[in-house]
Each structure stands twice: as C-alpha cells, then as structure tokens.
C-alpha cells in the first residue's frame, strides 16, 4: 500500500526533526512541523451487484438446495458474519419475524426478517433433518448430521460463486455481508445508523465503510441540483 508507506515515512521524518529540534537543540525551528501526513486511502469493500446476487441465488441446486438457498438468502438480506450463520439455532427464528443473532463477544442482537428470508426458512424447515442429528438445536445441518461449521458454509458459498464465475475475483462469505450492507444503503435507502445495528457493529465508523458512493448516486446528486436545468440566455 503506497499511501500507507508514504504516511509512515512522513511520520518518521516529523519525529526525527522534532527530536533534533526539541531534544538536541540542533535547529531553532522544526522545518517539517507544518507538513501534513498523507491520509491512508481506505479500500472500498468488494460486493456483488444486485444482478449478481440474484444470479447467485438462482444458481442453487442439488440435494441441499433448500438449505443452501436459505443460507445465501440470510447472508444477502441480513448481512450476517459466517460465524453467526454457523451458530444459528432453529429456535433463534421467532414467529414474529425476528431472528436472534449472537455476534462478536457473545453480544446478542435482534434482526428483522423480510418475506424472502421467512419464506426460505419455512421451506428449509420442511426438509431439515431431525433423525440422527448430533446437535438437535442447530439450524443448518451438514451431510454428516452435524451443525454446519464455518468451513463447511464457506465451501458451500465458494461452490456457488464458482458456478457463476466469481470464485477467482476475491469474493467470499464476508463479501456477501458487504453486499447486504451495500444494497441496503445504496438501493434501499437505509440510514447508516440503522445499518450499524443490523450488522452488529460497535462503532459507527466501522459501518461507514459501506457508505461508499456509486457513480449512479454521484450522477443523481449532480442532476438533483436545482441549477441543473438552467440554460444560458440566448443573445438577441
């Protein structure tokens, strides 16, 4: 990261001149005191477009189709972490359309489910294994009748990403979390403070990385200026 490297060099330079000016008194004034350090440029999170998200959901097939579809639907609509997905119990989904999620540091939050999530959950529950299941409470069950682990869920997600040609482009379960956040903010108009609670972030600053602007939003901002349609008067 070139910007980070420049920032470190600038910080070292300022520290050196501060030392020889204040401690060694070799200079009367610090020549770099007013030097501004370059700001680290934050990389925008990678996410799927709305069209790619729909394509991913449509790619689901096989013996565990309803289970896999439910997992992907929850990822793309609720922005769960993969560890939170693996930790879900079937009774964490409540009849009032809410879901209990245990996040980092065992911190609990309530997530509201939309109709797509509720429908996917109900369809999966019709086929969710019951007999010989090792963890009776686990929501998502593996072919070995155990709770699906983080690695198992990741492998499943990679399989479908590969199917639609996105496996080699740095996409992952966490990118589906980015996708949910981005779609809610950019196309759903969700306030960043609400998004913070949905994602289970401690600080608003963490959530703000998802508020990156699309070129379409920037174009709309320019077009929304009340002066946008003012034309120069023609000379008579």
List active site positions: 81, 104, 174, 177, 201, 210
3-class DSSP assignment, residue 25: coil
Contacts of 102 (CB under 8 A, 6+ apart): 84, 87, 108
Contacts of 151 (CB under 8 A, 6+ apart): none
Select from 47, 45, 20 the least CA-distant residue to 31: 20
Instruction: Give the number of residues written for the chain.
Output: 236
Task: Give rounded-to-5 percent helix, strand, coil for the chain.
Answer: 50, 5, 40
d(CA 14, CA 38): 13
How many other C-beta atoms can be found within 10 angstroms of the C-beta atom of residue 51? 8
- The pair of three-digit structure tokens given for residue 44, joined into one six-digit string: 């925008």
Strand residues in the chain grouped as ranges (E): 98-102, 108-112
d(CA 216, CA 182): 14
- The pair of three-digit structure tokens given for residue 85, joined into one six-digit string: 């997905």
């Amino acid at each position: 990261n070139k910007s980070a490297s420049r920032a470190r060099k600038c910080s070292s330079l300022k520290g050196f001149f501060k030392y020889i000016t204040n401690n060694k008194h070799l200079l009367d004034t610090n020549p770099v005191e007013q030097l501004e350090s370059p700001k680290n440029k934050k990389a925008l999170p990678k996410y799927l477009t709305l069209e790619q998200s729909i394509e991913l959901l449509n790619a689901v097939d096989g013996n565990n189709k309803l289970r896999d579809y439910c997992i992907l639907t929850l990822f793309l609509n609720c922005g769960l972490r993969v560890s939170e997905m693996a930790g879900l119990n079937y009774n964490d989904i409540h009849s009032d359309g809410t879901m209990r999620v245990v996040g980092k540091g065992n911190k609990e939050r309530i997530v509201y489910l939309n109709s797509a999530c509720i429908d996917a959950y109900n369809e999966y529950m019709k086929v969710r294994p019951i007999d010989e299941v090792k963890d009776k409470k686990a929501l998502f069950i593996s072919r070995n009748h155990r709770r699906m682990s983080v690695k198992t869920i990741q492998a499943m997600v990679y399989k479908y990403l590969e199917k639609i040609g996105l496996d080699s482009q740095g996409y992952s379960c966490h990118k589906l979390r980015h996708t949910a956040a981005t779609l809610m903010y950019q196309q759903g108009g969700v306030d960043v403070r609400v998004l913070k609670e949905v994602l289970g972030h401690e600080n608003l600053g963490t959530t703000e990385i998802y508020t990156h602007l699309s070129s379409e939003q920037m174009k709309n901002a320019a077009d929304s200026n009340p002066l946008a349609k003012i034309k120069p008067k023609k000379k008579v």
